[in-house]
């Protein structure tokens, strides 16, 4: 059933397509429940693309990298939507949001210099950051509250970005799906032994 390989790719493409739609809905002031509906679809697509790919044995480096790019693209769309809906939220958390974005901005060129392409670790810290982003977004858009969810999300974002940078510095070559720094160290030791 070769067609199964296309479903995870379609889910990633769906999430990338929803990113500009999210900004469009926020810009034009559509009811928040409509924005939350597309957000729920994006979250489900993110959950199932990797899950189905692993179940069907169709995980590839390209798929995981595309997933990471779509995640970043959609996260920026969330930020843009929040700016359009209530820019005070962004301004009140500007330092933390700027720190996360700054670290992400450092990561991309670092990964390209070291490996010739972007990282795709899907580490536990990144998953926690993603989950906290979902909770914070629902709290803000659905319930008009930021505390304490957004600061927790920002803190997890900083941890995730720092761990991603550390993993990139530890790994001797590009590898996808690295759960944490400990796994990166194991991969490094294994590769070092193979070269001896």
Exposure letters 138-170 (e unless 16+ CB within 10 A, then b): ebbbeeeebeebbeebbbbbbbbbebbbebbeb
| Domain chopping of the chain, boundaries | 1-85, 86-196
Flag whether pLDDT at 196 surpasses 80: no
| Residue of 127, 110, 126, 104 whose CA lies nearest to 170 | 110
Q: What is the DSSP letter of 178?
A: -
Residue 147 scores a pLDDT above 90: no
- Residue 17, both tokens: 């397509």
Q: Check: CB of residue 75 under 8 Å from CB of residue 39.
A: no
Residue 50 — very low, low, confident or very high, per pLDDT cuts 50/70/90? Answer: confident
Tens digit of each residue's pLDDT (9 = 90 or more) over 18-43: 999 999 999 999 999 999 999 999 99
Asked if 52 and 107 count as a contact pair (C-beta separation under 8 A), the reply is no
- Quickly state the pLDDT bin for 88 (edges 50, 70, 90): very high
pLDDT category, 192, cuts 50, 70, 90?
confident
Model pLDDT for residues 93-143, shown as the tens digit of each residue: 999 999 999 999 999 999 999 999 988 899 999 999 999 999 999 999 999
Q: Compute the average pLDDT of residues 157-167.
A: 97
What is the model's pTM? Answer: 0.91
Residue 1 predicted with pLDDT over 70: no
Distance of CA 169 to the CA centre of its chain: 20
Give the model's confidence band at 61: pLDDT under 50 very low, under 70 low, under 90 confident, else very high: confident
Q: In angstroms, rounded to a whole number, what is the distance separating the alpha carbons of residues 15 and 72?
A: 10
CA distances from 168 to 12, 119, 163, 188 (A): 24, 8, 9, 11
**Is 13 exposed, middle or buried, given 0-12, 13-18 or 19+ CB atoms closer than 10 A?**
middle
| Calpha distance 141→178 (Å, rounded) | 32
Give me the long-range contacts of 139-147 (CB less than 8 A, separation at least 24): 140/82, 140/86, 140/89, 141/32, 141/35, 141/36, 141/39, 141/81, 141/82, 141/85, 142/32, 142/36, 146/89, 146/92, 146/93
């Amino acid at each position: 059933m070769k067609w199964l390989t296309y479903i995870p790719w379609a889910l990633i493409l769906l999430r990338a397509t929803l990113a500009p739609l999210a900004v469009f809905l926020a810009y034009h002031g559509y009811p928040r429940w409509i924005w939350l509906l597309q957000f729920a679809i994006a979250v489900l697509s993110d959950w199932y693309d990797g899950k189905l790919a692993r179940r069907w044995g169709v995980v590839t480096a390209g798929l995981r990298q595309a997933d990471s790019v779509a995640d970043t693209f959609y996260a920026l769309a969330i930020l843009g939507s929040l700016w359009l809906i209530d820019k005070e939220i962004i301004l009140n958390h500007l330092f933390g949001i700027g720190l996360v974005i700054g670290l992400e901005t450092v990561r991309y060129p670092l990964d390209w210099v070291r490996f010739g392409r972007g990282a795709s670790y899907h580490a536990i810290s990144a998953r926690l950051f993603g989950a906290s982003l979902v909770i914070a977004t629902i709290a803000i858009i659905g319930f008009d509250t930021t505390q304490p969810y957004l600061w927790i999300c920002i803190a997890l974002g900083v941890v995730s970005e720092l761990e991603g940078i550390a993993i990139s510095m530890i790994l001797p070559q590009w590898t996808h799906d690295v759960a944490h720094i400990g796994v990166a160290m194991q991969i490094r030791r294994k590769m070092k032994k193979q070269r001896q």
